[in-house]
Amino acid sequence: MARLSDGGWSSRPEALVRSLAVGPARDRMEPRLLAESSSNPAQTNDFRSREFIRLGPLLLMFTALLYLSVPVLAQTDIDDVHIEPRVVHKDAKPPAKDTTKDVPIVPETTASNSVLSAHVRPLKVDVDLVLVPVTITDPMNRLVTGLEKDNFQLYEGNAPQQIRTFSSEDAPVSIGVIFDSSGSMASKMDRAKEAVMEFFKTANPQDEFFMITFSDEPEVVSDFTSSVDEIQNKLIYAVPRKRTALLDAIYMGLSKMREAKYPKKALLIISDGGDNHSRYTENEIKSMVKEADVMIYAIGIYDRYASAVEERLGPQLLSDITELSGGRAFTIDNPNDLADVATKIGIELRNQYVLGYRPNKVVHDGKWRKIKVKLLPPKGLPPLKVYARTGYYAPAE
């Protein structure tokens, strides 16, 4: 029971009477209605109707606010998954559906498949195209240029192959310099650095280079770059010390060549002796050279009266490795000749013939294929020497 303002009592709770008694007008009118509600049901219902009409808009507004707040609160969950609508092109057809399984089937003639095919098919054909860089020299070890496609014959095994592409243009090259910084290079270091700089003077602006120095172990001192100045700045810090891990350095250089962006790739080795501190063996490196499509050139600076066994075997080691790749090894005993030989190698890389053929019988078995290039020189020329890769591994798939 609640006491009314005029001294009477009401059967409604005190809180409801207080909430309704707001303002002077209500102080005068509503207590009387409340007091009479228990004895007059009709008036009570009329009072409730008028209160519902008065409070209805407030209740409706409160309900709307509560409804709008639900998605806002839902967005605060960090585990929610937001799915963006897929963009469908106007000319695209909807995916067909299998009636037995509720899994969409993408048609084979979609635009994405046509684009994929356009990129895959040429690549598949190019896998069977074998490119063979060839260098021709005369008895004076001078380059011979100006030959034509008809001056060459190409064999895979004993089977003659049709030369489908022939080029003698100066294409960009990815080049890696393998620089010996072992202790025995102390008296030759300055000349060797000068030779590297002379070699880079023959480069094209599009060429890219990296450099590895080695003593006890190899180290990439400059990653692929087109800046000759960057290589020169790194080369300044090469200091002769410790022993010679030549084979390990060749392994690192061939591995690095997998990052090259040009199909024509070459390594230049500058060293003064054989290997005496590598983990890899000569046979392991030769196998790797066969697998890699990288020409290797070498400048060997040897003492005439070498006492160590590895120094005496050094010239033959570099000669075997370079010939496998189609490159050449130059042996000098005077460090003053380094720059001239390096320049000669640089010019030779720019004046090679590239023969391309597709094997008559394509078998993807991953086995070694032997290549032989024969020369049909024009009349009147002296005997010429051919330098080319000796073979390649067929793709396994």
Closest residue by Cα to residue 270 from 305, 296, 301 = 301
**In this structure, is residue 221 part of a structural domain?**
yes
pLDDT in tens, 233-246: 888 888 888 888 99
Tell me how crowded residue 268 is: count the other CB atoms within 10 A of its CB. 26
CATH of the domain at 271: 3.40.50.410
The count of residues in the chain is 397
**In this structure, is residue 80 part of a structural domain?**
no
Distance CA 193, CA 179 (A): 9
Q: Are 210 and 354 in contact (CB under 8 A)?
A: no
**In this structure, is residue 95 part of a structural domain?**
no
Amino acid 16: pLDDT? 42
pLDDT category of residue 61 using cuts at 50, 70 and 90? low
Sequence-separated (6 or more) residues with CB below 8 Å from residue 105: 95, 96, 97, 98
Task: Report CA 252 to chain centroid distance, whole Å.
Answer: 18
Sequence-separated (6 or more) residues with CB below 8 Å from residue 88: 94
Same domain? For 383 and 312 the reply is no
**29-33 average pLDDT score:** 42
Distance CA 328, CA 321 (A): 9
Amino acid 280: pLDDT? 93
Q: Six-digit token pair at 34? A: 């409340």
Distance CA 260, CA 253 (A): 11
Q: Six-digit token pair at 120? A: 């895959």
Sequence-separated (6 or more) residues with CB below 8 Å from residue 312: 274, 306
pLDDT in tens, 327-381: 999 988 888 888 899 999 999 999 999 999 999 888 888 899 999 999 999 999 9
Distance CA 188, CA 32 (A): 119
Which residues are bridge partners to 132 per DSSP?
355
Q: Is the dihedral of CA 62, 68, 71, 73 positive or negative?
A: negative
Same domain? For 180 and 250 the reply is yes
Closest residue by Cα to residue 270 from 305, 304, 235, 242 = 235
DSSP state of 382: P
**123-136 average pLDDT score:** 72
More confident residue, 339 or 112: 339
Q: Which of 122-131, 195-204, 385-394 has the weakest average pLDDT?
A: 122-131
Q: Mind giving me the DSSP string for 272-334?
A: SS--SS-SS-HHHHHHHHHHS--EEEEEEE--TT--SHHHHHHHHHHHHHHHHHT--EEEES-
Amino acid 361: pLDDT? 85
Amino acid 170: pLDDT? 84
Same domain? For 388 and 309 the reply is no
Q: Which of 18-27, 116-125, 343-352 has the weakest average pLDDT?
A: 116-125
pLDDT in tens, 287-335: 999 989 999 999 988 776 666 666 667 788 899 999 999 999 998 888 8
**In this structure, is residue 255 part of a structural domain?**
yes
Same domain? For 229 and 318 the reply is yes
Amino acid 122: pLDDT? 29
Task: Report CA 274 to chain centroid distance, whole Å.
Answer: 34
Residue 227 has pLDDT above 70, yes or no: yes
Helix, strand, coil percent content, the chain, rounded in steps of 5: 40, 25, 40
Same domain? For 208 and 337 the reply is yes
Distance CA 108, CA 306 (A): 69
Amino acid 314: pLDDT? 74
Amino acid 159: pLDDT? 95
**In this structure, is residue 252 part of a structural domain?**
yes
Alpha carbon of 236 to those of 188, 193, 222, 339: distances in Å? Answer: 14, 8, 12, 17
Same domain? For 27 and 61 the reply is yes
**In this structure, is residue 105 part of a structural domain?**
no
Distance CA 388, CA 373 (A): 7
Percent of the chain with pLDDT over 70: 65
**In this structure, is residue 263 part of a structural domain?**
yes
Same domain? For 286 and 264 the reply is yes
**116-130 average pLDDT score:** 45
Q: Classify 82 as helix, strand or coil.
A: coil
Residue type at position 245: A
Same domain? For 201 and 323 the reply is yes
**102-123 average pLDDT score:** 35
**In this structure, is residue 75 part of a structural domain?**
no
pLDDT category of residue 185 using cuts at 50, 70 and 90? confident
Same domain? For 293 and 254 the reply is yes
Angle, helices 282-291/246-256, rounded to nearest 10 degrees: 20
Angle among Cα 50, 52, 54 to the nearest 5 degrees reads 70
Amino acid 66: pLDDT? 53
Amino acid 48: pLDDT? 53
Whether this prediction's pTM lies above 0.75 is answered by no
Q: Are 236 and 244 in contact (CB under 8 A)?
A: no
Same domain? For 202 and 341 the reply is yes
Closest residue by Cα to residue 239 from 170, 300, 192, 177 = 192
Q: Which of 52-66, 101-115, 116-130, 280-294 has the highest mean pLDDT?
A: 280-294
Residue range of the domain that includes 15: 2-69
Please state the domain count of the chain.
3
Distance CA 121, CA 310 (A): 49
Same domain? For 306 and 224 the reply is yes
Same domain? For 39 and 135 the reply is no
